[in-house]
Amino acid sequence: MKRFLTLCSLIFALLLVITSCTPNLNSSSNGNIIVASKDFTEQDILGELLAQQIEATTNLKVDRRPRLGGSFVCHSAITAGKIDAYIEYTGTAFTGILKQKAVNDPKEVYEKLKQAYAQQFNLEVMPSLGFENTFAMIVRGEDARRYNIQTLSEATQYTPQWRGGFGYEFLEREDGFPGLAKTYNLRFAKPPQIMDLGLIYRALIQKQVDMVAGNSTDGQISRLGLIVLKDDKHYFPPYEPVPIVRQETLKKYPELRKAIAQLTGKISANEMRQLNYLVEGELRDIKDVVQEFRKSKGLGLSSG
């Protein structure tokens, strides 16, 4: 997952080797622009969105490099000029690539990231697509309605009677449960249960637990009628999706800037959850899902 930023130098070195050996990168390109994506469903969708937007609003041809790898692989590829653009998350880039201490203010993170990427890597960090994909504290919709709660602060008066279910990493990592519990004075009836991430939603629906930590844009949240509690004290760092584009490419094709800028703020968290669900839950074709979404937003149909 994009937020697992505790990779050791050995793994980083291995990823660099993978980058240099990946056939996708070294294959001949028939397009003007190479757009890559990281290796999970949401990234498949966002990469295709970026590619369709460019092709629909310019005369440029896009070569797609889906599932290229994680953040370090994509960053290596774009700084080496092997790809031209991909979607990254601000918190991941700020803490993982730049090795900066987490900052909770989204605007501050974006401005510092934009400046550093331009100076250090000759990369343009374009504005956010509109949503965040971060840790999310999730409860059953029926409970949120029963207790009339929308925020974590409001939930804390009920959690002493609740049970929590979290993944091991969330319970252990610095920006996970320990700090969250301290920030909100969050207490449960008993110590939170360590759970496999693949089981947390089932356990929540079956009322084995009452609150879980997931990812804010998980497709199952909408499908199961669950509610993400607002992090009203802004404990979690911001993870906003932003297009990263080589400055050299923007100079060569100035029309790219306007094309990509049209995606600014176009996707809400609920919309991203729905897109993820259509691909993962209903097994819809990604190109069709993206094309329908672009049409619903008045972005028009892809020409290709």
Complete domains list, the chain, with CATH: 9-132+238-296 (3.40.190.10), 135-229 (3.40.190.120)
Chain centre to alpha carbon of residue 138: 17
pLDDT of residue 29: 55
**Which pLDDT score, from 0 to 100, does residue 7 have?**
44
> What are the C-alpha distances in Å from 122 to residues 80, 117, 258, 292?
11, 6, 19, 34
Please classify residue 224 by burial: count the beta carbons closer than 10 Å to its beta carbon, then call 0-12 exposed, 13-18 middle and 19+ buried.
Answer: middle
pTM: 0.77
Strands (E), 53-159: 62-69, 85-89, 123-125, 135-140
Residue 57 has a pLDDT of 95
Counted residue by residue, the chain has a size of: 304
Per the CB < 8 A criterion, the answer to whether 232 and 153 are in contact is: yes
User: What DSSP state is assigned to residue 160?
Assistant: G
The predicted pLDDT at position 126 comes to 98
Kindly report the backbone phi and psi dihedral angles of residue 33, in degrees, each rounded to the nearest multiple of 5, phi listed first: -125, 140
Q: What is the mean pLDDT of each run of 10 residues along the chain (304 residues)?
A: 45 45 48 93 96 97 96 96 97 89 90 98 98 94 97 97 91 81 95 88 96 91 91 90 98 97 95 93 96 92 46
The pLDDT assigned to 96 comes to 84
